[in-house]
Amino acid sequence: MERGKRADVPESSHFTPLADGALGIDGASLEELARAHGTPLHVMSWSAIETAYRSVELALGDGPHLIAYAMKANGSPALLSRLASLGAGIDVVSGGELYWALAAGVPADRIVMSGVGKTDEEIALAIDSGIRGIHVESEPELDAIESIARARGVTARIGLRINPDVDPKTHPYIATGLHDTKFGLELDVARRLLPRIVASAELELEAVACHIGSQLPRAASLADAVEITARFARECLAAGAPIRSLDAGGGWPIAYGDEEEAADAHRAFGQAIREGMRRAEVPDLEIIVEPGRALVGDAGALVTRVVFGKEQAGKRFVIVDAAMTELLRPALYDAYHAIVPVRPRTSAARPADIVGPVCETGDFFAVGRLLSEVERGDLLVIRGTGAYGASMSTEYNARPRAAEVLVEAGGVARVIRPRGRVEALHPRE
Ligand code: LLP
């Protein structure tokens, strides 16, 4: 599967060796963390998140902007409140996410809501909490928002999420901006809805939005999508809609280590957004972005212990105590994650399938990956798991959720999610 692919370990100034040679996270020992909190263990560096946030902020330049963190990447309330204190807003996609964003103290006027299947309850919650904007993805959704707002005697603030039909050149499962995906409104549909929205007493159209996909390698595709969206913003303004922002979605990439060519830098994504707006000759609008992975992906790693080694049918298996339950990305997208021993060994590396204990052939982290000899009890660290790692975890095979630890300045580790308990897997009425 991954033979022949590049298999590098991305550089990091957060996951670095300590004085004794074993890997640490911002100066905290991964061995100690594993001893104290058990394995599998999700670890996150707050300083890596803050650095990424500042880098996205810098890329957006001096104009008005809002970084609405896509909390689906990692919804830990501890991260949400810390990000909010830096000035971030949140992109939510469910009533559950909205609940937690509000509970974490994120101001409602910094919350936007996306999603193709918002229920009446979710729409009502969004309206009642006074969020910044509900991003509409279909005509029936618009009908629902309008009638729920009417029943409450209020005006709902909305955005129109355009499907700009731009190919983001990413994995098909995470491409969202092509016409044949379920996301967003086709331009002609959005155009048709415009007069009705402007005339409605229950709707205030304050944003246009797009999101073309995740882990975008090239910023140029975003410039194209923003141009299309910004041209539509002009039409909305001309029709009398009080548009004040353009939401360019997320999708800014991180380096996992298997890239043939490095993806474009944050700077290029910021420039691409400005370029798209310039080409559309749209007046100054506030820019909203919804990065998830770019803020937290690189900041997280999954620490796991080797349970057994096994040679079978001429293959070497390294069986670890983490599984697809803690990190689904390799099983779901054949995604690459760098894997390194916490304490380096000098033995020659040879190919191994690094697999979990779950009863699925797809329960692997790497296939044919070069790895030094390891022994039972050794720790491995799986990098780049801060986004869509813990947040996509499941309890399959009656495996309680792994604990999550946030390492703050000076290497102080804080448990932000205690390990789940087997007895709590099936709560009684
Ligand atoms: N905004 C919207 C409307 C989205 O649908 C998404 C992601 C984002 C923002 C954030 O995208 P990001 O900046 O993280 O690329 N589970 C997959 C990724 C799914 C992304 C879904 N939507 C993975 O593990 O790669």
- The residues annotated as belonging to the active site are 359
Closest ligand 1 atom to the C-alpha of 171? 25
Percent of the chain past pLDDT 90, that is, above it, reads 93
Closest ligand 1 atom to the C-alpha of 291? 13
Task: Report pLDDT for 241.
Answer: 98
Percent of the chain past pLDDT 70, that is, above it, reads 99
Give yes or no for residue 249 CB within 6 A of ligand 1: yes
Which residue has the least CA distance to atom 8 on ligand 1?
250
What is the band of 1 on the pLDDT scale with cuts at 50, 70, 90? very low
Give yes or no for residue 193 CB within 6 A of ligand 1: no
CA angle, 68 then 72 then 73, to 5°:
90
Task: Report pLDDT for 260.
Answer: 94
- What is the average pLDDT score of the chain? 96
Closest ligand 1 atom to the C-alpha of 73? 14
What is the band of 170 on the pLDDT scale with cuts at 50, 70, 90? confident
Give yes or no for residue 393 CB within 6 A of ligand 1: no
Question: DSSP string spanning 146-160?
Answer: HHHHHHHT--EEEEE
One-letter amino acid at 402 equals A
CA distance 50 to 41: 21
Classify residue 143 as left (phi > 0), alpha (psi -120 to 50) or beta: alpha
* Interval 358-378 mean pLDDT: 97
Cβ distance 278 to 234 under 8 Å?
A: no
| Residues 250-300 pLDDT 10s | 999 999 999 999 999 999 999 999 999 999 999 889 999 999 999 999 999
Cα–Cα nearest to 23, from 422, 381, 418: 381
Task: Report pLDDT for 263.
Answer: 96
Q: Among all chains, which residue has been given the structure tokens 């803050």?
A: 50
Which residue has the least CA distance to atom 19 on ligand 1?
174
* Interval 333-338 mean pLDDT: 97
| Secondary structure of 269-313 in HEC code, one letter for each residue | HHHHHHHHHHHCCCCCCEEEECCCHHHHCCCEEEEEEEEEEEEEC
Higher pLDDT, 181 or 55: 55
Task: Report pLDDT for 296.
Answer: 98
* Interval 61-79 mean pLDDT: 98
Q: What is the pTM of this model?
A: 0.97
Which residue has the least CA distance to atom 16 on ligand 1?
388
Using the predicted structure, report yes or no on whether residue 314 has a pLDDT greater than 70: yes
Cα–Cα nearest to 287, from 112, 64, 123: 64
Give yes or no for residue 384 CB within 6 A of ligand 1: no
Task: Report pLDDT for 2.
Answer: 53
Cβ distance 415 to 37 under 8 Å?
A: yes
* Interval 334-340 mean pLDDT: 97
How many angstroms does the Cα of residue 324 sit away from the middle of ligand 1?
19
Cβ burial 202-225 (10 Å sphere, 16+ → b, else e): bbbbbbbbbbbbbbbbbbbbbbbb
Give yes or no for residue 352 CB within 6 A of ligand 1: no
Task: Report pLDDT for 167.
Answer: 83
Reduced DSSP (H G I as helix, E B as strand, rest coil) percent helix, strand, coil of the chain, to 5: 35, 25, 40
Give yes or no for residue 290 CB within 6 A of ligand 1: yes
- Of the candidate ranges 229-233, 283-287, 399-403, the one whose mean pLDDT is the lowest: 283-287
Cα–Cα nearest to 371, from 363, 383, 380, 360: 380
Which residue has the least CA distance to atom 5 on ligand 1?
211
Give yes or no for residue 294 CB within 6 A of ligand 1: yes
Closest ligand 1 atom to the C-alpha of 252? 13
